[in-house]
């Protein structure tokens, strides 16, 4: 390998690692269920700051993606890190409902959106299309695996210092980590074109045309993807935000183990789905994942309604739910780049990502209302399961249509003509 190519490859991997590190910090939103019990002692509606953060995260992604397209990923990530830290510091100074809505929901939620928007786009620009799924999977896996360290850290800090000091420590830590990693982010130089290796997989055959948001919004595939993302993300986040409470019924103080194991499944789903989609295409794994998630939702009805459900079964269920949910976060970014190109990828995916926030906000709120009305999560799982099946049916339309290849009529040669030809020779 020539020194120049080595340098480019190492620079690309540096950006991937930086994006992974930023997402490792931003994944605090998934550890919210560890804080939910303490927050519930301050005010009613402890799930509202989480739902608000998901919605604001998704909406701010559009602005974050536009910003990183214009001024680059580094400044965008730094702004995101400062906002996340500021939001946590606000929460550390208040016990009011609206203070937490502002701090965690609006300020930290918008910071997560800006920082998240700056992590994946620059990483993708350093690598060929055949590696789109793999690179996306690695970068966003940090977001999914974050509770592996955040859950035990949060549990320890809560026990030692209480909720408010915990928020202050986490806020300062996130500012340092996100802003530090942001310094390693960079776009390739102008005119850079990643070398594409020979590949027999479908990813090599993808020839995307660069289109802007206006043209994307005229494409019917956008709305199919948006609705599928809405369902897949919303159903997953509904479980993720409540898993600690569900697990606590049978696991007690060890409930954080279920959160940790589910986050491992979440991260694995992102990487596995990304690699798989590079090999067999994006449209095949998506409906399969949605159907599997629906089956898990229906199975969860039995699990949460049985008082004697063991911790192993709950942990396995949470792990597979996390895996399927995680697959969404690598498949949809890859779809966006395949369908509408890399030039406007940040802005285009930012718009598509609004489905994640709206789905999270809507289904978390619907779930909370159903829980109050029926006294359990059984009805929430049923509703989510049906919606996932509908999403899977819609996703089937994304499969590429087979183009009929005209077959020329066979040429029949009479045996006598062959004999004459041999004689003449």
Per-residue pLDDT tens digits for 159-198:
999 999 999 999 999 999 999 999 999 988 877 777 655 4
The Cα 100–Cα 106 span in angstroms is: 9
Q: Is the pLDDT of residue 4 over 80?
A: no
Q: Is the pLDDT of residue 412 over 80?
A: no
Q: Is the pLDDT of residue 125 over 90?
A: no
Rounded average pLDDT over 107-119: 94
The number of angstroms, rounded, from the C-alpha of 263 to the middle of its chain's C-alpha atoms is 12
Rounded average pLDDT over 249-269: 79
The Cα 176–Cα 85 span in angstroms is: 9
What distance, in Å, lies between the first and last C-alpha atoms of the chain? Answer: 56
Q: Are 19 and 125 in contact (CB under 8 A)?
A: no
Domain ranges of the chain: 8-186+212-399
> At what angle are helices 354-374 and 378-395 packed, to 10 degrees?
150
> Residue 139: helix, strand or coil by DSSP?
helix
- 416 confidence band (pLDDT: 50, 70, 90): very low
400: left (phi over 0), alpha (psi -120 to 50) or beta: beta
Task: Give CA separation, 335 vs 126, 127, 342, 418, in Å.
Answer: 18, 16, 11, 55
Token pair 């020839």 in the structure block, residue: 207
Residue 321 makes CB contacts below 8 A (sequence gap 6+) with 236, 239, 240, 262, 265, 293, 296, 297, 300
Residue 334, both tokens:
């890859």
Task: Give CA separation, 228 vs 126, 128, 309, in Å.
Answer: 29, 26, 31
**What pLDDT was estimated at residue 236?**
79
72: left (phi over 0), alpha (psi -120 to 50) or beta: left
**What pLDDT was estimated at residue 415?**
43
Residue 423, both tokens:
């004689």
**Domain spanning 8-186+212-399: which superfamily?**
MFS general substrate transporter like domains (1.20.1250.20)
Per-residue pLDDT tens digits for 133-153:
899 999 999 888 888 888 788
Least confident of 113-122, 226-235, 412-421: 412-421
**What pLDDT was estimated at residue 84?**
95
Q: Is the pLDDT of residue 40 over 60?
A: yes
Q: Is the pLDDT of residue 421 over 50?
A: no
Q: Is the pLDDT of residue 312 over 60?
A: yes
- 381 confidence band (pLDDT: 50, 70, 90): confident
Rounded average pLDDT over 372-386: 84
**What pLDDT was estimated at residue 420?**
37
Q: Is the pLDDT of residue 97 over 90?
A: yes
Residue 117 makes CB contacts below 8 A (sequence gap 6+) with 60, 61, 64, 65, 67, 68, 76, 80, 346, 350
């Amino acid at each position: 390998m020539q020194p120049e190519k080595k340098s480019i490859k190492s620079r690309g991997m540096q950006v991937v690692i930086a994006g992974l590190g930023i997402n490792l910090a931003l994944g605090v939103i998934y550890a919210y269920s560890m804080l939910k019990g303490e927050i519930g002692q301050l005010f009613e509606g402890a799930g509202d700051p989480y739902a608000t953060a998901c919605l604001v995260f998704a909406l701010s992604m559009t602005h974050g993606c536009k910003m990183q397209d214009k001024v680059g990923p580094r400044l965008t990530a730094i702004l995101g890190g400062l906002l996340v830290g500021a939001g946590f510091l606000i929460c550390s100074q208040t016990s009011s409902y609206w203070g937490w809505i502002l701090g965690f929901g609006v300020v930290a939620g918008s910071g997560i959106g800006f920082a998240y928007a700056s992590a994946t786009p620059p990483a993708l620009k350093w690598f060929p299309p055949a590696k789109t799924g793999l690179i996306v999977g690695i970068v966003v896996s940090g977001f999914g695996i974050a509770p592996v360290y955040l859950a035990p850290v949060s549990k320890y800090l809560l026990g030692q210092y209480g909720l408010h000091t915990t928020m202050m420590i986490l806020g300062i830590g996130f500012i340092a980590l996100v802003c530090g990693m942001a310094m390693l982010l960079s776009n390739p130089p102008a005119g850079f074109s990643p070398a594409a290796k020979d590949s027999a997989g479908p990813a090599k055959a993808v020839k995307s045309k660069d289109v802007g948001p206006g043209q994307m919004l005229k494409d019917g595939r956008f709305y199919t993807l948006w609705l599928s993302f809405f369902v897949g993300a919303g159903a997953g986040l509904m479980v993720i935000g409540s898993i600690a409470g569900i697990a606590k019924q049978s696991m007690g103080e060890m409930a954080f183990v279920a959160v940790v194991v589910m986050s491992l499944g979440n991260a694995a789903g992102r990487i596995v789905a990304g690699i798989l989609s590079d090999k067999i295409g994006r449209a095949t794994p998506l409906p399969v994942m949605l159907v599997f998630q629906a089956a898990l939702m229906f199975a969860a009805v039995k699990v949460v309604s049985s008082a004697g459900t063991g911790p192993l079964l709950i942990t396995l269920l949470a792990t597979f739910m996390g895996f399927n949910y995680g697959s969404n976060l690598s498949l949809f970014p890859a779809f966006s780049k395949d369908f509408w190109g890399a030039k406007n990828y940040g802005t285009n995916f930012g718009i598509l990502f609004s489905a994640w926030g709206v789905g999270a906000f809507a289904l978390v709120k619907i779930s909370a209302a159903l829980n109050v009305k029926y006294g359990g999560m059984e009805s929430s799982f049923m509703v989510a399961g049906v919606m996932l099946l509908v999403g899977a049916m819609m996703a089937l339309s994304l499969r590429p249509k087979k183009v009929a290849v005209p077959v020329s009529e066979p040429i029949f040669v009479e045996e006598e003509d062959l004999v004459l030809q041999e004689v003449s020779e």
